[in-house]
Amino acid sequence: MDCSITSRVNTSALKSRSVSRQSARASFVVKAQRDVWWPGVDAPAHLDGSLPGDFGFDPLGLSVDPEMKKWMVQAELQHARWAMLGVAGMVGPDLAPWDTPSWIEAGKFEYWAPAGPLFFIQMAMMNWAEVRRWQDMKDPGSMNKDPLFGYNANDTNTDVGYPGGLFDKLGYAKKDLDTLKLKEIKNGRLAMVAIAGCFVQGATTGVSPLTNLTSHIANPGAVNIFN
């Protein structure tokens, strides 16, 4: 009888250890699947990986407050998109087949109207667009209808920052929207770093990025970061 009881106890203990090991292994696997910005770093609790490009990077705790987190997400997204456009605008003039001023000299270029009125027109249009975006952040989906032409971007879309409709005429979002969001924010972050480098390079050398690059390739010993 004692042997039978002992055998049952040992079997139960072995099963318990097996289950606990499996649970530990399962929890380890789940934790390992979370990509973080630095190996071995634990992501903060307010960054749970649900956002596109969330790798747990918030050393200053700017997104701890939920309302501030919403604002920071949209701020990064807009800065990323403007940075991608900006880098293209910095490189584009050097690739154009016609004579165009570099981005460093663009402020001196004579447009079809004086710079002062164009500046105020741009500020008015940007203010209108930004106010609508801010209202959409407060009430997602409220700005889907165009106020001028009555065009509905997407009657059911409440995903702030991703309007779809007119902004997705090729229908890419119908395939894998989550993957596209991740690619966009990754490219946008790279563009923000790149545009900062272009600013420093322009202030240091006084020429456009590709002009600087071709000069370096032609004579890397004389044209480099140390000269």
Position 5 scores a pLDDT of: 46
Position 127 scores a pLDDT of: 93
Is residue 21 marked as binding?
no
Is residue 63 marked as binding?
yes
Token readout for 139 is 């009430």
Is residue 130 marked as binding?
no
CA distances from 132 to 126, 140, 146 (A): 10, 11, 10
Is residue 201 marked as binding?
yes
For 47, list phi and psi in degrees, rounded to 5: -115, 95
**What are the start-end ranges of the H helices in 96-158?**
115-138
Architecture of domain 66-218: Orthogonal Bundle (1.10)
Is residue 189 marked as binding?
yes
Position 93 scores a pLDDT of: 87
Position 27 scores a pLDDT of: 47
Token readout for 78 is 């807009």
Is residue 184 marked as binding?
yes
Chain segment 39-93, per-residue pLDDT in tens = 888 899 999 888 999 999 999 999 999 989 989 999 999 999 999 999 999 998 8
Is residue 17 marked as binding?
no
Is residue 76 marked as binding?
yes
Position 178 scores a pLDDT of: 87
Position 3 scores a pLDDT of: 47
Are 46 and 69 in contact, with CB atoms under 8 Å apart? yes
Is residue 212 marked as binding?
no
Chain segment 145-160, per-residue pLDDT in tens = 766 666 565 555 667 8
Is residue 183 marked as binding?
yes
